[in-house]
Amino acid sequence: MKTSRRSFIKTLSTGSIAAMAIPTLARATGIPDEKYWADVKSQFPVPSGRIMFNAANLCPSPQAIHDTVSSYQKSLSRDVSMQYRAVFAERRKKSIELLAKFIRAEAAEVGITRNTSESNCTVVHGLDLKPGDEVILWDQNHPSNKEVWQKRAARTGIVIKLVSVPANPSSPAEILSAFENAFNSKTRVIGFSHISNISGIALPAKQICALARSKNVLSLVDGAQTLGFHDVDVKDLGCDFYTASTHKWLMGPLENGILYMRKEHIEKVWPNIIGGGWHDGTTAVDDKICFLGQRNDPPTAALPEIIGFHETIGRNNIMERVVALNKMLKEQIRQRIPNAAFVTPISPAMSGGIVIINIPGVEGKAVVQKLYDTHGVAAAYTGAVRMSPHIYNTADDIGRVVDALVKSIA
């Protein structure tokens, strides 16, 4: 059954995206086909002349999410009373409950920040560390889990140890070995991106966290490139802290980040910001650590809807689709641009939803600009050409993007 954007909005008005008809095809056959994914794509307000291929930075949201945020914003504009704003406290509580369930944590262990960067920085500045304590970092970390540590080291005397992994790792074990060799008796924390935004390499996060735990070392996993496409289970992952944003692979509203802390560590982290109404003795992450004062509440109020969107489609369906698109893109590039050098590993076991390539003799930044200006393809330049398709992309989009790549390097 074809489901239109209008039916999404109609269902939204009844209060539950999770009850939407789309995509019933997965429930009926267990194997979503291209028609199914075309139905999914139709729920996003991206015009036909554009192809969004930059999920690693920012995803479009389904139209229904925009409508939810807009509805709350209009209601707030009409009534800014404390009495009305109580609805946002309830929606925030609901959002935290659903986010916690989504990553398989307890609600008290999850707080909402403004983005992954704020979540990372909250942990970096909140932990008690003394001069000489060592922190292991992947040299491919995002600045909010790298440079911020280095600034703290300059101020407080902690020691930063950067770890490099092979440019073309042969196996997850080879990556793990690089980190294992960095630990010593002074190591207190290890912080790393689950998937690098600059190479697309996926780390064996569960094994690294287990290694850290065996040495009584805290682990901070930056999940900006996994939450929303990967089926994240923080308990199975074994991390002490996990951070992510809702505007990337989760395809949710802007200005919402996720901060997970294993419950036994909550009391160990100092709050960075204290707003009006905060009080000591709180035991939940959101109350203790994420109490920022006045916020932009409407986007947070829409989080239950985007989580419902994921659950309706099926988290495994989403993960398998992203992997399939990634594989499809790599294969077509290898066939049609044989001299392309892959920065991202070909193997799905060591990559995620990101494909990064260099083309000898071609300036990548110019290619990315031409892709957008001439072909309507939104990719990114990170020292190379980065492409990250998501479930709002179809097999036809993959072909169109590779066609555009071929023309852009000619």
Question: Taking 50 as the threshold, does the pLDDT of residue 7 lie above it?
Answer: no
- The fraction of the chain above a pLDDT of 90, given in percent, is 86
Question: In the prediction, which pLDDT does 4 show?
Answer: 40
| Rounded-to-integer distance, Cα 135 and Cα 396, Å | 45
269: region left, alpha or beta (phi > 0 left; psi from -120 to 50 alpha): beta
Q: In what order do the strands lie in the sheet with 257-261?
A: 110-113, 257-261, 241-245, 218-222, 187-193, 134-138, 159-163
Summarised one tens digit per residue, pLDDT across range 205-256 is: 999 999 999 999 999 999 999 999 999 999 999 999 999 999 999 999 999 9
Q: Higher confidence at residue 35 or residue 18?
A: 35
- The fraction of the chain above a pLDDT of 70, given in percent, is 93
Tell the residue number behind the tokens 């020292």, with chain if given.
383
Q: In what order do the strands lie in the sheet with 380-381?
A: 341-342, 355-358, 385-387, 380-381
Summarised one tens digit per residue, pLDDT across range 133-147 is: 999 999 999 999 999
Question: Taking 60 as the threshold, does the pLDDT of residue 27 lie above it?
Answer: no
| Rounded-to-integer distance, Cα 319 and Cα 226, Å | 10
CA angle 89, 257, 142 (to 5 degrees): 165
| Strand, coil or helix: 25 | helix
Average pLDDT over residues 34-56: 95
Q: Quick one: the chain helix, strand, coil %, rounded to 5?
A: 45, 15, 40
Q: What is the chain's mean pLDDT, rounded?
A: 91
According to CATH, the topology of domain 316-408 is: Aspartate Aminotransferase, domain 1 (3.90.1150)
Q: CATH number of the domain at 84-306, out of 3.30.1330.10, 3.40.640.10, 3.10.450.50, 3.40.50.1220?
A: 3.40.640.10
Question: In the prediction, which pLDDT does 288 show?
Answer: 92
Query: First CA to last CA across the chain, in angstroms?
Result: 42
Domain ranges for the chain, please list them: 84-306, 316-408
Same fold, 84-306 and 316-408: no
156: number of Cβ within 10 Å: 12
Asked if 92 and 297 count as a contact pair (C-beta separation under 8 A), the reply is yes
| Strand, coil or helix: 245 | strand
**Long-range contacts from 165-173, C-beta under 8 angstroms, 24+ separation:** 165/138, 165/140, 165/201, 165/203, 167/199, 167/343, 168/345, 169/201, 169/345, 169/350, 171/350, 172/203, 172/204, 172/207, 172/349, 172/350, 173/204
Q: How many CA atoms lie within 13 A of 230 on its CB side?
A: 22
Q: Which residues pair with 134 in a beta bridge?
A: 159, 187
| Rounded-to-integer distance, Cα 410 and Cα 397, Å | 20
Summarised one tens digit per residue, pLDDT across range 313-356 is: 999 999 999 999 999 999 999 999 999 999 999 998 899 999 99
Q: How many residues does the chain have?
A: 410
